[in-house]
Each structure stands twice: as C-alpha cells, then as structure tokens.
C-alpha cells in the first residue's frame, strides 16, 4: 500500500497560496536539516558543517569551487536564507521544498536550476525515491536533497577529499556532472533490483500461477509507471544541458553530459522493456490460469461422461417390470459388469484417441 | 447520468447563424449577471459593483490596472456592451458566451484572448466545470466566468485588497498570471479528489468485486476523458504565453508563467497516470471476477465428481438380478458403505494432491 | 448495409484512364444538374439560374463578387464548360466529379481548390455525406456539390439576398469562409445525432445487453471511422488557409478562418471522445454478457449440487441388500426425509455464507 | 501458404557479398528477359524490340524522349549492360535485381532512381506483387519490372502509339508520372478486390462463424500488413518528387505528381480503414463464437436442471423402506406424475420469467 | 532461460565509479585478447598479429589505411594502451569495454565513435549477440569486438588480401562502410532464422496448439524486443553518417552508407512485421485453445443431456408404487426400450439440426 501512494501524492495543499510561498510538501528526515560547505580547487580542499541559519558571508563565493549541500527540506527558513544569499528566484525556492516536482531544468541566466528524482535501492529489491535539486552557478553549486535515504554521493566526496580523478581540477559544471552521473548510476541499481523482482514473478507465473500474482503484477505495473515518470523527463533535461545553449557548462563537460544522456536513454529503454515484459506476463498469467481451470473442468467432465451410461445401465436393471428376461439369466449380473467395464474402457480409449485425456 | 452528459454537450444549436451571433450555450447561474470593476496600483485600490449595462466611460482605462470581472454569461446584452467598450472582435464575444470552447489562446495584437475550463472540487470528490475566459490588454484585464460554482479567486482579491504580495505593484499580465495559477491550483484539488475515488474503487476491486464496479470504472474512465480534454490543451496555451511572442506579457511574468506551465504538465502527467491505473483496474476486475466464478464452478464440479461413483454404486445394488451374491452377504450393506467412504476419501485426497481443491 | 458500403467506395473504376479524364463516380441526384449565378456587392444583388451549358460570357467576372454554384455532378460536360471558362486545371475538374476525394486544399496560384465532405443530418440520427468542392478566385467563387441532400446554404443565400450581416460588403474569400463555417456547423448537428445514438445504445448495453448490440456497436464504430476520415483532414486544410501563404485570403478573413479551424478541432475532439466511449462500451458489453451467463451457470450448478447428495441418499435406500437395518425402522422413511431436508438447507446456508448464492 | 511466404522473403542470401554484386533474388518470368526501346516526340514514334545484350549505341539518347523498358530480371548480365550504358551506380543495379526493396527514391544528380511495388489484381480477388524500378534522366527513362503478371502499362503504350493525350508532347518526367499514376491506379483495383474479400468474410462472421474464419482473418491481416509495407513508403517517395528539389522534374509535372500523391494518401487511408475493420471483425467473431457456445451450454444446463428434481423423485419412490405410505395410495403413481409435470412446467416458467430460456 | 537473461543485463555494477573507469562488463572469449594490424593501399597489403601490449610506434599511422582490430575485451589494459596511442577520450574506452551499450554514434572531431550490436546466426535458428565498436579516423580505423562468435568479417579480409573490389583503393571510411554493410547483412541471416522459428511455431499453433506454445510465443516476443532494441537505434546512427556533417566520410562513401541505411530500414520493417505476426499468433492460439476446450465441453454436455431423460425413465420404473400399470404389461420392458431409443435418436437429430453436434 505504501508503494501505491507514491503515485497519488500531489501539490493540492498549496491551492490558494501566492507564488513563492515556501510550503514543504514531503516527509521530514530523522536527522533534521544539515548544511555542508565544500570549497576546493586543484591544490586545496576545505569541508565545513554550517549552522541551520548561516550568514551570507560564509556562503559567499571564494576562489575555486564552492559546493553547498543542504539535506532535509522541512526547515523552510534555512532554505530561504541559503537561497536569498545566492539571489535565487522565489519560484526556485518554492520548487525546492515542494517535493512533487517533475524532473526539469530552468535557465535563469546567472544560474541553472535542475530538479530530478533520486532513486536508491532498498532491501527486498524495493527502492526509495526523494527529490534532488541542483542550482549551478559559474563557480558555485547548491544542492538540496530530502535526506531520507542516506548519503548518495559519498564516493564523489571521497574523490574530492583525496584529490583523485579530475574532479578537483575542473569547475562547478564538472562537479554537477559528477552528481548527475552518480544519480543515473543509482537508477541502474534500482532497475536491476526491479528486474530481479520481475524475473522472480515470471517464474511464479510460469510454474504456480495463483490469483495473488495478478495483484503483484499490478503493483509492479504501478512501479514501472512511477519509474517512467521519474526517469523519462530527465532525458529532456540532459539533452538541454548537452546542447549547451548556456555558457555555464563548458564544452569538455558537455562530452561527459552526453555520456550521462546515453545512460539515461539506456535506463528508459530498460524501463520500456520492463513494461513490455509485464504486459507479456499478464497475458501469460491470464491464459495459464484459465488453461488450468479448463483442464480440470475438462477432466472432471470426462469422468462424469464415463459414469453416465453406467448409471443408466444400473438404473435399467433396477426397474420393476414384470417381465425382464435379463434379470432371470444365470450370469446376468456378471454379464452386466462385463458390459459396463467394456463400455468404460471403450470410452476412455475413445477420449484418448481424440487426445481429450 | 448528469456526469455523463458533460461529454456530449456541443454547439449544434448554433448551426446556420451568422458569425459573431451571440448565443448563450450553458446554464444560468442562480445569482444572475454581476459585473465588478477593480482599479489598483501600488498605492491605491478601488472596488466597484457595476449595473448590468454599464456605460463605456465607467469601463475606460485609468491609471494603474483595471480588472473587470463578469459573472454569469446568459445576459448576452451585458456581455456585448462590455465587449464593445473594449473593441473586442465579435468572434471573441461569441466564444465567451458559448461555453463549449476548447481551451485556447488567440492573439489579436492589442489584446490576448484566453479561454479555459475552471474546475472546482465538489462534495463526494466530484467536481464542477465551467468556462473561464480572459482578455488581457496592456493595462486592463477582462474576465468572464459562468458563476456556477462560487468565487474561485477570493484569495487573489484578498491579496489585492490588503496589498500583500507583488500583485499590486505589477501590471495586468501579472494579475492574469495570478488567475491562471489559481485555476491550475484548483486542478490539483480536483485531481486529488478524483484520485481518492480511484483508490476507493481499487480497494473494492481487490476485495469485493461486484458487477457494478464495471459501471463505476466506466464512469471514472469518462471523467478522465473529460479531465484530459479540459487540461491537455492548456499546455499549448501556456507554452504560447511563455514563449512571449507578444509584448503584452513582460519578461519577469514569463518566468512565473513557466511555473504554471510546469504545473499543467504535472496535472497532465497525473491524468495520464490515472488513465493507466484505470486500465490496470479494469484488467484486475475482469480477471478477479472470472477467477471467482471459475473457483466456484471448479469446486462444485469436484463435489459432483465425488458423488458420481457413489451414485453408481447405490444404483448397482438396486438392480433386480436374480443372482447377485453381494446382496446376500451378511455384512454386504456395511461393506458397501466402507467401499463408498474409502472411494470418497480417496478422491478428495487425489484432488488435494493435484492441488485442485 | 447501406451505411457500411460508404467505407468501401473507391476510385478503382478509373484505372487505365489518362489524367484529366472526367469520369463521374457517385450517385445522380433526382433534380439533375442546376447552375446558379449570384453577383453582388454592397449595393446590388442579382441571382440567375443558368442553362446546363452556359456560355463563358455569362460566367465572366463582373464588378463585385461572382458566385457560381453547380449542383449535381453527373453531367460532366456542364462541369467541363464551367471549368474551362475559368481556366481550371484538368486535374481540378477530374477531382470535382470523382466524389471519393479526401478533404484537401491545393494552391494553383490564381485560385485555390478545396474539396471536403458535406455531412447533413438525416432522420433517425443518421447522416448523409456528399462531396463539396470550392474554387476560390480573387473576385469569384465556384462551388460544386452532389446535390443529394438538399440545399445546405439557404441561410447564407438569405443573408446575401437581404443584405444583412457583413457578407455583401466583403470579398469572395469571406463568402468562402461563410460556406466553410456552415459546413462545419452541419458537422456538429451530425455529431449530436450520432452522440444520441451512442447514448441510446449505452443504455441498452447497461440494462438489457443482447447479442445484436455487438453488431450495432460495430456499425457505430464504422461510422466513427467514416466521420474521422471525413473531418480529420479538414484540419490541415483550414490550418493552411489560416496561415495565409496565399494572398487570395485577406487578413480580416483569416481571423474568421481561425474560428472555423477551432470548430474543426472541437469536432475532431468530439469524434475522438466517441471512439473512446465506443471502446468502453464494447468492454462493458462483453463483460456484462459474460457476467450474465456466468451468473446463470453458477446458479444452475449450485442447484445441481444441492440435489447430488439427495439423489445419492434415495439411491442408497433403493439397494436390495438382505440386511439393511434402516429399512426396517418404524420411521425410517420420515428420518430420511428429515436428513435430506437438513442436508439441503445446510448446503444452501453454506452457499449463502460463501456469498455464492 | 503461398500468400504467407510473401512476408518472409528477405535478402539474407546476399550476406558476405561485396557491394554492387548483382545477385537476382526473386522468381524467373516464363517469358525470359525482354528489352523494348521507345523513342518519341510530338511528331514521331518508334518502337523497337532489342536483343538481350544490346550495344550502347542503340541505347544512346536521341532527340525526343527515349524509354527503355526491361522485363524479367533474372538475366543479370543484360541488366548490367543496360545499366552501364547509362552510367548507373552499381548500387542502383544491385537494387534493381534484388526484388525485396522497400519503396524509395534516390537522387544521383544526373538521374533519379525510384523503386516501388507493382500490385496487380488476380482471380478470386487475390493480387500479385512484383518490383518495379524506374530511372529517370533528363530525356530518357529506364524501367525494370519482374514481368510476372503481364503488361501493366498497355494503356500508356497505346496512348503513346496513337499520340492521344499530352504524353507525346511532354518530357520524360511526364512519362514517369504516367507510369506512377498507372501503378497507383492498380493499387485501387487491388484494394477493391481486397475490400470484397473483407465484406464476404464479414458476412460469414456475422451469420455462420466457424473456427476457420479465424484463420482467414489472420490471413487477411497478414495481407493488410503486406499492402501497408508496399504502399506506405511510396508516400515519402512522391512527397520528395512533388517538393521538386531536383530539376529533372518540371513544375507542370509536379502538379500532376501532387495528384498521384493524393491518390497514394487515399490508398493508405483505405488500408488503414481495412485494418480497423479487420480488428473489429476479430472482436465480433470472438464474441459471437463464445456467445454461441455459451447459449448452447446454458440451454443444456437448463434442461439438466429440470431433470434433477424429477430424477430425485423417482429415486425417492424406489426406496425400499418398510413403511412408505405414498407407495400404498390408490393413485400414488398418478399423483407422482402430476407432481413431476407441475414441477417441470414450474421450472420452465421460472426460467422463462428470468429470461434465461 | 539463457535467452531471457539477455534482456536483463545492465550496467549497475559500475555505480559509484569515476567516469572513464575501465570495467569490463560481459563474457570472456575462449581465445583471449588478439590484436591484428592491417595496413594497405592500392598496391600493398600487410597483416601483422600484435602482442597484447603493443607499443604506440607500431600502431602509428602510415601511408595508406591502417586497420587495428581488437578481439576480446576483458583485458582492459590492452584496450587502454591501444586507446591512448590514438588519443581516444576516456569515455570512449569506457563504452568499448562495457558491452551493454545502446547503438550510437559520437563525433569527437578528429574521429567518429560508433558502437552497435553484432548479431550472428547460431544452430537451431538461434543467434548470438556481441558488442562491436568502431573508431574511424582520417586514415585509420580501430575496431573492437567481444570475439565470442568467431570472425564476422572474413570475406572483407579476403577481399583486402586479394585486392578484389574497391576496398583497397578507397579510404578508411569505405572500409568502415564495408564492415557496417557486413554487420547489417548478418542481421538478415539472423532474421531469416528467426522467421523460420516463427513459421514453425505458426504451424504448431494452427494444427496442435498446446499450452507450451504460449511459453514459446512469449520467448519469441522477448527475442523480438531484443532484436528491436539492437537494430532500431542503428537507424539514427546511419542517418547521421549519411547526412555527412563530418568530413571524415567522403561523398562517394555516403552513397554507399545510404544503401546500408536502406537495409537497416528493411531489417526494422521485418522486425515490426514479426511483432505483428506474433501478436496475431497469440490471438490465434488463445482462441483456438479456448475453442477446442469449448468444443469438447459442448460435446460432453450434449452426451450428458441425451442420458438425462433416459436415466429419469429407468428411475421411473424402479419406483415401488403398489399400482403401476405399465409394469404389468406384457411387453412393458420392450416398450420402454423403444421409447428410450426413440428419445435418444430424437435428441441427437435435434442437436444435429441445430448444428450443435
């Protein structure tokens, strides 16, 4: 049931509020809001944990790249403070805290605003879903996540700390690419888990179809719809970034973004394949369940048909007519048994020859 | 039934009339036609209720923004007066009073004409639907609504009266944005109600499927078709406004319109999801109802099959042959009971092992 | 059957003929060919009925607008005469008399050639369909109709005669608009009639589904296909006219054509809705008919199951064993009745508790 | 079966061959390869039958238009000779002899290469299909056909011989148009035949559905797929020609090609309609066959249910209880008959009232 | 089962790795990694087998065309060496060794990177699938294959060795064309094999439908999905190459690439046809299996119905009423037999006349 409700959350509670009103829609993470500031360039790296209401001076741009990450979106005042320091448009802040956004990218000239779904694998091949927003300036990067499913970017942070790879020597756009790449990589883990649930269910469908299978198929279908809604629009987002109409993204980074774009297409392809497989499984289930029932009914009806003439015969010799010669025969009873056995065997043979049995 | 007819209302009554003929198609609101004039700028605010046939001088542009709102469309003469004061094209007036328009936007150079559906939630998660037209000039705004479901813009009017927010300091285009935003917000409330009906019905489908469910599913399907027809074209309307080919809409307002555009896409997404869910529920219903029937038939047939050989046996010993040794046995009757009980138990065991029972 | 054949008429009879060969495909109207000439400007109006073979001088352009209307297309020589006077391309004439054209518009520089379906309501919510062709020059208009279903433009002619409205003061393009508007208005009347047949059938499907319903659903489906084929391409035609790549259509008229375009979109929308409704009705019909049968079968099988043990019992006491103590009991017969009644009631109660009955 | 295989022929045998390798895929016509040369201008006309290996001088351009028609494609050397005289690209020759091409047009600058399917009606409303290739130069035209189904262009040749129509006075492009027009005309004859098979089968479906109908429906469906594959791509071909990016086609001819384009659209429309009709017929068939079976089963079950209580009653009075008062009644036997008749009539009446019978 | 898993392999194992990390996803070929260097121009030809870690000097460009082919992708160090000598982008190398790429083309200015599926026919009309990557420079060509299914380009190598055809005299782009052409040719062989499996199964469906058929249909459906995923994107790849936005591909080669493009379209067409045929077969199977069951059930029910009145009659004369005149008749027993035979024959005749039997 919990899974189902994912498809029904919407922004109706905001009806009647003025634009830019910061209303948090979503769950509150157990850890509260946490703000982390990272500053780095090729030679240096600095990591600071900020208070919930940091002053703008702390958040100012420095030399190198500045990455401010906010986890937990229920404290709208903290979000407002961070956003206003960076002169974000009120609508951007509104979208960040309202966690029912469709993945999209918006170009505000001085910065790009991206929002997408962050899917993480969970036990039993389930997955969690939270909103991830990213604001990319020339030398700075703001990221906002719900913080419900732990740190999704630990490997990125490690690479920054140890200065391995190209992350430290590149600009904020390359860091943004790194985060997008990590997010799409998570999609594949989620899809792999989903694929395993599909394979498990397919085996059940083929071998022991039970009526619950249908409910499970319907659940999986809903999850595919959800995955599709989450991933499909990202394609346009990445296509926009890769086209490079905005000079915030440098040409070398665009090559990497094309790679993420390709991965997104692959993920979408996989989701479409899952949809096709699910509809094939539905057909398979429906016809194997009806087939099973038909087989049983046919068998029982055949059994019934064998007994029909036998019951007629025993009824026949139960009649009380004055004069029924067979009844007086010496071996009448034996003969009637022989006739009945022959009849039964004959019918079974006939059914077999007709391939009904 | 009332709900169904929504899909069938059309403009056939106007066949043969010249273009620009003002014929009201639709219901008459209980309150009659009401015209309200609002004039405001950053410092002042004035609200006047006008007579049904106002003179053009009253309606003239002033300093600041002029918003004329007409509720109730059956009094075509009032509409004509208002329209002619503002030099609206006859086709615009014709569309305003004929409440079967598809949402659209038309650029008449001096003004933009928008028409869309105003959906409002009603008790029992039902919704009402009326036509809302909007004519946007440089410093003025004309709005026309059927007035069947109460005031949809009270929060906007309140914000204007109290001067909170940016509404008072911006132009007519920003006010138009505010109205569009409110309308799309109402869509989400309507969709939430619809989603709840869907969830309720899904529970019924899963637990106690009855034949009425099908009729209800069909009703919901029709409502989704209606919602789709009402919301889908708004996407093009907002995309046109956001592109900004017309200088009546200023660049800052276009950023806000993009936000409304995103919300419309989200609403459309939700509607498409509902469609998918409905078709999944139809499959689920059809197969669970046929499954139930099959289970019952199978059970009854199995019961019948158990009795077949028993009935044969009792018929057998009802025969009147002269010489049937079993009939003379001391405990013949007991033996036949034992045989029959063994047979019945054996068959039940066989059926169980075959997983038929 | 007559209705069905509409979908199958095609131009195969013309195989092997050279281009421009005038072959009439279609029915002959009872009234024969009639040619009417109308000349008018703001001040004057003149209406003449011409002989079947008018000379070109009569048809020449005059001051004001000249409208030549030809009803009945079987007299190909008359069509040829009229066409050649106006220097129409042979392919235009060929298309005019071959009444199986798909709606289209063709730009021949000096004139525009339009062809479309003229649908008219008929008794019992049926409709007739004929081909309407229109050639629009700078100051003249040629129209060709099959003339099978009476005068479709009487209101236009009346407005011209009495000089009401703007028709007399405008050019040939505005007259063409008037005719197109009238044609699309007729579509709505036809669609309304069709919608009523749909509603009637829906009631039958819901209340008394019979096998004939399926045939009727199939008929309606075919008619929707036909309506779609007739109306859908008109959208492109009107979109072409509205774009105004040709200077034969003046800017003010284009505003009106946009209105007709909107109406066509509305008509197409309605047709698509009908298609969706029809497929919903098919689902509804199929499952309610199968539901009814299943209910009956289930009931009968339940009845049968109640009698099975009873029949077994009466068989049991029909056995002829020497020693069957129950047969000797004082009230054996009474007891067996009581047992049987208890058994039957128990089974009915069980079925009820299981909600099978 | 022969019909089915049409869909499965493909070019796999050519795997591993270098480009331009001339391998004939297809059937050999009974008449062998025949090459015909036609030269004509407004005043003169000359028709020559050439040997299988003509020398290039014979094939050279002359004054007026030169049309070389090759029938039979198995003699690849003849094709190579003709092609090399005209400096055709090796890939063009390869496509000409490999008769599994998808309809297409290719612009080689000096000439246009077109390939399409030539469909001809056959007895019993069947049709044949062969490949037709056309190479259009400035003053010459090369055509290649398989020659399996007789001369498809006799009327064109006749018109050339007798100098009627515009064919003789126009260029090679107009001749090419004439051939295309003839080919599309043949499509309509084929579609008409197909439509008749459809109508025949529809009658069978409605009146006497038998299981074979399904196989026939499947056959028709495959043929529609084949027709679609054959005609659909021609639309792009003609659209390319009509756009006139190449100066080999003159403006007046483009008007005529637009006409052929329209006919192709009409043919495609018809094919799509057939597809819709076929799927409607499948629904109709499936539900009428299941309806028939259900009706029979219901009737038989009703009959069975009438006999159930009767059989119980006769069993009842076959019991051997010592004391069964009814058995001693004077008219017991008569009474039991009356009871049984009343019961049977009552049940029939009940079933009738319930509309089950 | 092995076949199924093809659809589920994905790149999830790479989650968390930095971009450009070389991780081999896929199987290891039995033969290990083999690198072959070919250098040729019109006059000379040289073929060398290189060690797993060749030095860059060996791989340098020479006069003529240099083709380096790498078979086996598990030795990522060898791939890295070859790639770095040619200054390939790290993402290119990453894609080459991760064998789950969607077919695509990427333009890196100095070279083009193409990746696609190489399908090869296998026994029993199965097929293998491996990844083929191709990097095209101005005078050099790098190819990478998994090497699981033997040499796919032996005919090309032979043509190069013997200097036949145009391969030796053309540039690297023509060689790349040759490889693409060979790959698409292999598609047709694979599709032919698949088509035969389809035809085989169709025969089974038509003649002896068994429940396994459904599983096989589902398997074939999955394979079609896989084929579609493998071939469809190649269309865009070839369309990109043919458009020739990059000067690495010369105009004469583009003509040949258009030919490969056409073949790809044909292959896609065939795959779509297979999809249609498969869904037709599913319909056919489902309804013939349900038809068979229905026929049997109907027959058995008819048999049962014939015995119902007979069993009633024999029960009737088994009653023990004191006074049943028939029982005393001389030929009562004979008469009852005659009545029963007449009844049975009458019912059979009735069923036959109703066409139920």
The pLDDT tens digits of the residues spanning E30-74 come to 777 889 999 999 889 999 999 888 888 888 888 889 999 999 898
How many other CB atoms are found less than 10 A from the CB of residue E291? 17
CA angle D170, D176, D180 (to 5 degrees): 130
Chain B residues whose CB is inside 8 A of the A307 CB are 308-309, 311-312
> Which two three-digit tokens encode residue C318?
């029909």
For residue A249, give Cα distances in angstroms to A232, A263, B252, C120, E107: 22, 19, 24, 60, 19
The per-residue pLDDT for range B194-227, each reduced to its tens digit, is 999 998 998 888 778 887 888 889 889 999 999 9
B136-143 average pLDDT score: 95
Are B283 and B344 contained in the same domain?
no
Produce one character per residue of B32-51: b if its CB has 16 or more CB atoms within 10 Å, e if not: ebbbebbbbeeeeeeeeebe
Q: Do A316 and E319 touch (CB under 8 A)?
A: no
List of chains touching E (3+ CB pairs within 8 A): A, D
Looking at B232, B265, B287, the residue that finishes a domain is B287
Q: pLDDT value at position B224?
A: 93
The per-residue pLDDT for range D329-357, each reduced to its tens digit, is 888 899 999 999 999 999 999 999 988 87
Q: Which helix (H) or strand (E) holds C296?
A: helix C251-316
How many angstroms separate the CA of residue D193 from the nearest CA in chain C?
10
How many other CB atoms are found less than 10 A from the CB of residue E232? 17
Q: Do E315 and D311 touch (CB under 8 A)?
A: yes
Q: Do D211 and E319 touch (CB under 8 A)?
A: no
Rounded CA gap, A86 and A135, in Å? 10
Rounded CA gap, C243 and C18, in Å? 34
DSSP string for C253-290: HHHHHHHHHHHHHHHHHHHHHHHHHHHHHHHHHHHHHH
List of chains touching D (3+ CB pairs within 8 A): C, E
How many angstroms separate the CA of residue C118 from the nearest CA in chain D?
18
pLDDT band at A4 (very low <50, low <70, confident <90, very high): very low
Rounded CA gap, B217 and C284, in Å? 10
Within 8 A by CB and 6+ apart from E154, the residues are none
How many angstroms separate the CA of residue E92 from the nearest CA in chain A?
9
CA-based diameter of chain C, in Å?
Answer: 121
> ipTM score here?
0.81
Q: Name the residue of chain D whose CA is nearest to E187's CA.
A: D12
Are B169 and B49 contained in the same domain?
yes
Residue D89: what are its φ and ψ, rounded to 5°? -65, 140
List of chains touching A (3+ CB pairs within 8 A): B, E
Q: Do D336 and E315 touch (CB under 8 A)?
A: no
Q: pLDDT value at position E57?
A: 86
Within 8 A by CB and 6+ apart from C65, the residues are C39, C40, C41, C139, C140, C141, C171, C172, C175
> Which two three-digit tokens encode residue B325?
């040794």
Q: Which of D1, D5, D6, D7 to mutate to test the interface with E (most CBs of E within 10 A)?
A: D7
Helices (H), strands (E): how many in chain E?
10, 7
For residue C143, the cross-strand partners are C69, C134
Are D90 and D175 contained in the same domain?
yes
**Residue among B16, B297, B320 whose CB faces C298 most closely:** B297
Q: Do B303 and C298 touch (CB under 8 A)?
A: no
Q: Do C320 and B320 touch (CB under 8 A)?
A: yes
Q: How confident is the prediction for chain C on average, in pLDDT?
A: 89
**Residue among A4, A307, A324 whose CB faces B308 most closely:** A307
Asked whether the beta carbons of E205 and D218 are under 8 A apart, the reply is no
Smallest CA-to-CA distance from A296 within A284, A308, A288 is with: A288
- pLDDT score of B289 more than 90: no
Are D206 and D336 contained in the same domain?
no
- Bridge-based pairing of strands C65-71 and C34-40 is antiparallel
Rounded CA gap, E342 and E310, in Å? 10
Within 8 A by CB and 6+ apart from D278, the residues are D198, D217, D220, D221, D224
Q: Which of E13, E19, E302 to mutate to test the interface with A (most CBs of A within 10 A)?
A: E19
Q: What is the interface size between A and B, counted as CB pairs within 8 Å?
A: 150
Q: Is B35 among the domain residues? A: yes
Q: Name the residue of chain A whose CA is nearest to E218's CA.
A: A280
How many angstroms separate the CA of residue E31 from the nearest CA in chain D?
24
Rounded CA gap, C68 and C82, in Å? 9
Smallest CA-to-CA distance from D249 within D167, D153, D177 is with: D177
Rounded CA gap, A237 and B262, in Å? 13
Asked whether the beta carbons of D113 and D120 are under 8 A apart, the reply is no
Q: Is C292 among the domain residues? A: no
Q: Do A320 and E315 touch (CB under 8 A)?
A: no
pLDDT band at E7 (very low <50, low <70, confident <90, very high): low
Q: pLDDT value at position D6?
A: 63
pLDDT band at E104 (very low <50, low <70, confident <90, very high): very high
**Residue among C192, C195, C321 whose CB faces B332 most closely:** C321
Rounded CA gap, D255 and D249, in Å? 10
Asked whether the beta carbons of A188 and A119 are under 8 A apart, the reply is no
**Considering its fold, how many domains does chain B have in total?**
2
Q: pLDDT value at position C288?
A: 82
Q: Is B292 among the domain residues? A: no
Smallest CA-to-CA distance from A211 within B200, B350, B205 is with: B205
CATH number at residue E228: 3.30.460.20
Are B303 and B215 contained in the same domain?
no
Asked whether the beta carbons of D36 and D50 are under 8 A apart, the reply is yes
Looking at B268, B287, B306, the residue that finishes a domain is B287
Are C64 and C205 contained in the same domain?
yes
Are E252 and E302 contained in the same domain?
no
B5-30 average pLDDT score: 75
Q: Do C10 and D270 touch (CB under 8 A)?
A: yes
Are A268 and A325 contained in the same domain?
no
CATH number at residue A324: 1.20.58.340
Q: Do E11 and A309 touch (CB under 8 A)?
A: no
> Which two three-digit tokens encode residue D62?
């002359």
- pLDDT score of B10 more than 50: yes
pLDDT band at D112 (very low <50, low <70, confident <90, very high): very high
For residue A82, give Cα distances in angstroms to A18, A37, A96, A107, E58: 21, 11, 12, 19, 57
pTM for the whole structure: 0.85
Rounded CA gap, D13 and C253, in Å? 61
**Residue among A256, A263, A308 whose CB faces E303 most closely:** A308
**Residue among E155, E320, E325 whose CB faces D327 most closely:** E320
Let me know how long chain A is. Answer: 357
Rounded CA gap, E318 and B315, in Å? 10
Are B122 and B234 contained in the same domain?
yes
Question: Where does chain D have alpha helices with state H?
Answer: 2-5, 56-59, 76-85, 90-97, 154-162, 172-207, 211-243, 251-316, 325-328, 332-353
Are E260 and E335 contained in the same domain?
no
The 3-state secondary structure of A263-287, one letter per residue:
HHHHHHHHHHHHHHHHHHHHHHHHH
Chain D residues whose CB is inside 8 A of the E277 CB are 7, 222, 225
Asked whether the beta carbons of C322 and B328 are under 8 A apart, the reply is yes
The per-residue pLDDT for range D57-94, each reduced to its tens digit, is 888 888 889 999 999 898 888 899 999 999 999 999 99
Smallest CA-to-CA distance from C27 within C41, C7, C6 is with: C6
The per-residue pLDDT for range C8-62, each reduced to its tens digit, is 666 677 777 887 788 888 888 877 788 999 999 988 999 999 988 888 888 888 8
Are D105 and D6 contained in the same domain?
yes
For residue E122, the cross-strand partners are E126
Rounded CA gap, B226 and B231, in Å? 9
How many angstroms separate the CA of residue E18 from the nearest CA in chain D?
41
Q: How confident is the prediction for chain E on average, in pLDDT?
A: 89
Asked whether the beta carbons of A61 and A140 are under 8 A apart, the reply is yes
How far does CA B288 lie from the centroid of its chain? 27
Within 8 A by CB and 6+ apart from C314, the residues are C336, C340, D312, D315, D316, D318, D319
In this predicted model, which residue has the larger pLDDT, A327 or E15? A327
Q: Which helix (H) or strand (E) holds C309?
A: helix C251-316
Q: Is B293 among the domain residues? A: no
Produce one character per residue of A238-264: b if its CB has 16 or more CB atoms within 10 Å, e if not: bebbbeeebebbeeebbbbbbbbbbbb
Looking at B287, B309, B338, the residue that finishes a domain is B287
- pLDDT score of A165 more than 70: yes
**Host domain of residue D67:** 2-287
Q: Name the residue of chain A whose CA is nearest to E220's CA.
A: A280
The per-residue pLDDT for range B237-274, each reduced to its tens digit, is 999 998 877 889 999 999 999 999 999 999 999 999 99
Q: Do E89 and A298 touch (CB under 8 A)?
A: no
Are E222 and E346 contained in the same domain?
no
The per-residue pLDDT for range D202-216, each reduced to its tens digit, is 888 877 888 788 888
Q: Name the residue of chain A whose CA is nearest to E5's CA.
A: A199
Q: Which of B89, B286, B288, B311 to mutate to test the interface with C (most CBs of C within 10 A)?
A: B311
> Which two three-digit tokens encode residue C312?
């077994």
Smallest CA-to-CA distance from E130 within E146, E151, E154, E143 is with: E146
DSSP three-state, residue E205: helix
Q: Do D300 and E297 touch (CB under 8 A)?
A: no
Rounded CA gap, C237 and C105, in Å? 5
Rounded CA gap, B96 and B24, in Å? 9
Asked whether the beta carbons of C88 and C111 are under 8 A apart, the reply is yes
Q: Name the residue of chain C whose CA is nearest to B283's CA.
A: C283
The per-residue pLDDT for range E192-235, each reduced to its tens digit, is 999 999 989 988 887 788 878 888 898 899 999 999 999 999 99
Within 8 A by CB and 6+ apart from E352, the residues are none
Q: What percent of chain D has pLDDT over 90?
A: 55
Q: Is B233 among the domain residues? A: yes
Residue matched to tokens 């089962």:
E1
Rounded CA gap, D116 and D105, in Å? 9
> Which two three-digit tokens encode residue B82?
């208002």
Within 8 A by CB and 6+ apart from D250, the residues are D171, D173, D174
**Residue among E199, E262, E320 whose CB faces D317 most closely:** E320
How many other CB atoms are found less than 10 A from the CB of residue B265? 18
């Amino acid at each position: 049931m919990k899974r189902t409700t994912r498809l029904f959350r919407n922004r109706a509670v905001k009806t009647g509020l003025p634009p830019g009103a910061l209303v948090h829609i979503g769950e509150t993470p157990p850890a509260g809001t946490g703000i982390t500031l990272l500053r780095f360039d090729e030679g240096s790296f600095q990591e600071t944990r900020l208070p919930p209401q940091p002053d703008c001076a702390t958040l100012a741009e420095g030399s190198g790249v500045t990455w401010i990450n906010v986890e937990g979106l229920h404290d709208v005042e903290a979000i407002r403070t961070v956003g206003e320091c960076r002169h974000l448009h009120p609508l951007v802040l509104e979208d960040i805290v309202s966690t029912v956004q469709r993945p999209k990218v918006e170009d505000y000239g001085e910065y790009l605003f991206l929002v997408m779904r962050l899917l993480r694998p969970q036990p039993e091949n389930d997955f969690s879903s939270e909103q991830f927003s990213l604001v990319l300036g020339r030398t700075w990067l703001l990221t906002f996540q719900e913080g419900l499913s732990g740190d999704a970017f630990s490997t990125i942070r490690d690479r920054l700390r140890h200065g391995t790879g190209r992350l430290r020597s590149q600009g904020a756009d390359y860091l943004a690419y790194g985060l997008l790449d990590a997010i799409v990589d998570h999609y594949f883990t989620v899809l792999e888990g989903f694929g395993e649930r599909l394979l498990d269910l397919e085996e059940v469908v083929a071998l022991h179809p039970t009526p619950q299978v249908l409910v499970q198929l319907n659940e999986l279908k809903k999850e595919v719809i959800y995955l599709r809604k989450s991933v499909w629009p990202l394609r346009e987002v990445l296509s926009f970034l890769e086209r490079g109409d905005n000079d915030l993204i440098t040409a070398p980074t665009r090559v990497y973004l094309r790679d993420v774009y390709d991965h997104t297409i692959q993920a979408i392809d996989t989701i479409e394949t899952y949809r096709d497989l699910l509809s094939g499984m539905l057909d398979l289930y429906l016809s194997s369940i009806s087939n099973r029932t038909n087989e049983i009914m046919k068998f029982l009806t055949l059994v019934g048909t064998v007994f029909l003439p036998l019951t007629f015969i025993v009824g026949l010799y139960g009649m009380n007519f004055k004069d029924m010669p067979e009844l007086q025969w010496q071996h009448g009873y034996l003969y009637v048994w022989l006739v009945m056995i022959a009849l039964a065997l004959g019918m079974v043979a006939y059914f077999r020859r007709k391939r009904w049995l």
